[in-house]
Chain A
Amino acid sequence: MRFYEYESKALFARHGLPLGHSGVADSAVHAREIAHQIGRPVVLKSQVLSGGRMKAGAVKFADTPDEAAQIYDEIFPIIVGGQKARSILVEEKSPIAQEYYVGVTWDGRRKLPVLIFSDMGGIDIEDAAEQHPDHVSKTHFSTILPVSPRIAKEAISATGVTGGALNKLTPIVSKLIDIFLEYDLTLAEINPLVRLEDGRFVVLDGHVDMEAEARDQHKKLLDELGIGPEETRQARPPTDFEIRGAEVDASDHRGVAGNVVEFDGDLGLIIGAGGGSLTLFDAVRSHGGKPANYCEIGGNPSVNKTCELTKLVLSKPGVEKIAVMMNVVSNTRVDIVARGVIKGCIEAGKDPSETIAIFRIPGAWEEEGFKILAKHKVDYCDRSVSMYDAAGRAVAKMKSA
């Protein structure tokens, strides 16, 4: 879950990382006020959950408060990477002597956190690592030993930084490691961290990602930063359809019937589970089908929950048919899912035999499930029909309809 720059900086500030004077503006008047208070040239930066702000023209400088107000109006409407600006950060502009990069993230192969440091900040760190490997260090560290400043010192020193800069950078970098571990972050990045001409070190831009699984543990921090539980912080904001899908899933603790993502096609999908949904979504598309949605059912959801999800999918304009498909199931029961989708069709005022294009869920309790499907004249198949071919049958029905 990505933080906005101003939220990342608020987190850094709590831990004493050095930051420039700044304020978050939500109007041109407000931007002028903040620039006036700062009392020197400022930079205005669009607050979006996406990189590429500079390229999009959403970061600009202003010498006077009036100019800041004017630039606010100019950059606020700019869409960056598909994202609208939430607000504009107005921050003091300072003459820079040297830029550094500091990042902490996880290395899934080594299964350890890794500190990445470079004395070539401000640029893309992957490019820097390729072109100037001696200026980029990667230092893995333990998650069970206490964090010690020597990790930061070694990482900085490995890029050739020494003297006063080494000793001033070490505590800043070490604090970033503390923040990374304390808040279950998946990325804590400062790019750039700068030495100003007057010798001070300042965090110019920061980016923090928190692990979604850890949100409950850090509820207090999130509340204080104003990040509500409804904010998914995915690559795009959730649609109403997706929000209703999350409500269906939350309404009943029995099993999963959710993780709904909306697409603009016409074939409704009731699919599962984690890996099976990915496989089936690909299969529908490779047959030329146009899914109306992605979803996941698993963990043996109740009849009611599957029924509600079915009704939700069928409520989407243009969706007349659904395909109900899973991999061979072990703990989810075929009969329970069959009951849920048939009931959902009926409650939506539709005929299950017309609406369910295909039912392909083999496995636990399939004999019982197949009896229910036969009774309601639903087209179903067992494991002898592959996931791919089942998807093909559903798509063929859409084309002939």
Chain B
Amino acid sequence: MSILINSETTFIVQGITGREAVNLTRENLDYGAKIVGGVTPGRAGRDVYGVQVYDCVRDITAKTRVDGSVVCVPPRFTRDAVFEALENGIKLIVVVTERIPRKQVAQMVELANLRGARIIGPNCLGIISPGEAKMGGVGGPAANTKTAYTKGSIGIMSRSGGMTTEIASTLTAAGMGQSTAVSIGGDAIIGTSYAELMPLFEADPQTQAIAIYSEPGGRMEAELAEWTQENNSRLPIVAFMAGRFMDEMPGMRFGHAGTIVEGKADTTAEKIKRMTEAGIAVAERISDIPKMLQERIGEAK
């Protein structure tokens, strides 16, 4: 098992003829993904590494089962592309695009909720269930992906795409594989937060513990802390908190769009306090994560 995607998951790539999308398509196919079509308006009839290109999502969903879509179109077209996927019944949408104003993100999420669908991102590298499939740019070329990611029992959730792979690579080096790693996105409003993914990991027998990457800004860590306490979670969590220097620099934006200290609740100090109180272990260094996870998995057994 794994969460969100496995070797049977079928998906499409919207904006498939763009530079980044062409790369991503190649990397996903090489990793074994079942890409059943691509969409770029006006480019029907072309193919990208053997994947047929269509003008509309409907042209693909009418013919075959489509579980998901990777949306990789410029910011001003992204909302429309996501709406198109949702209105054609696609239930899992990975939005890679960054720099989308949050009103439009909120609109996508609102419609997804009405349609019973899930959005991952925006501003993310997608999802990987090692040894099964990947959906998005996470891990890069298939050979690099296989070096960093191995199949196992740790779930990863990260607000940074690059740090998703750094954590996986560190776990792999310590002999700890991963069930599913999700790059959830770095924006202030994202489709699916840590706490919203927790029930899925909780229900996944393959997953025994969780590693997360977090940073200043937003209330997502507080939400996770509340969730673990209210649901008496079986899964030990180890969190790494980056951007501690930002606590001294309110109002300055670093890194991702969602990373800014505007009030006390946004600081790393406050987030660390909340998580620690909820029993989430906070690592000082990435290299401490494997050992901390092992100790806690041992205790849980």
Contacts and interface: CB of A to CB of B under 8 A. Distances in A.
Given A108-B258, A109-B193, A383-B169, 14 more contacts: A108-B218, A143-B103, A143-B107, A235-B250, A273-B160, A274-B160, A275-B242, A276-B163, A281-B243, A283-B285, A327-B160, A328-B166, A362-B169, A388-B285
Contact of A211 (B102, B111, B145, B223): B102
Contacts of B291: none
B102 A275 contact: no
A277 interface: yes
Interface residues of B, number: 65
9 contacts: A109-B220, A111-B110, A126-B263, A211-B103, A275-B215, A277-B254, A278-B243, A278-B254, A331-B137
B158 to A, nearest CB: 7
B11 to A, nearest CB: 19
A143 B106 contact: yes
B169 to A, nearest CB: 5
Contacts of A363: 140, 144, 148, 165
B213 interface: yes
B109 interface: yes
Given A282-B243, A330-B125, A331-B137, A259 B102 contact: no
Contacts of B48: none
Interface string A360-401: 001110000000000000000001101111000000000000
A40 B189 CA distance: 47
B102 A273 contact: no
B165 A108 contact: no
Contacts of A286: 284
Interface residues of A, number: 54
A79 B125 CA distance: 43
A74 to B, nearest CB: 27
A328 B255 CA distance: 17
B285 A331 contact: no
A80 to B, nearest CB: 13
B256 interface: yes
A322 to B, nearest CB: 18
Contacts of B249: 235
B109 A111 contact: yes
B287 interface: yes
B106 A386 contact: no
Contact of B110 (A142, A214, A285): A142
A134 B102 CA distance: 30
B101 interface: yes
Contact of B162 (A112, A184, A298): A298
A94 interface: no
A387 B162 CA distance: 13
A388 B284 CA distance: 10
B158 A275 contact: yes
A275 B160 contact: yes
Contact of B255 (A112, A296, A386, A389): A296
A329 interface: yes
B70 interface: no
Interface string B136-149: 01111100110010
Given A213-B101, A274-B255, A384-B173, A327 B158 contact: no
Nearest to B264: A126
Contacts of A143: 103, 106-107, 110
Given A213-B75, A279-B286, A144 B107 contact: yes
Contacts of A113: 103, 106
Interface string A98-119: 0000000010110111000000
A144 B86 CA distance: 14
B188 interface: yes
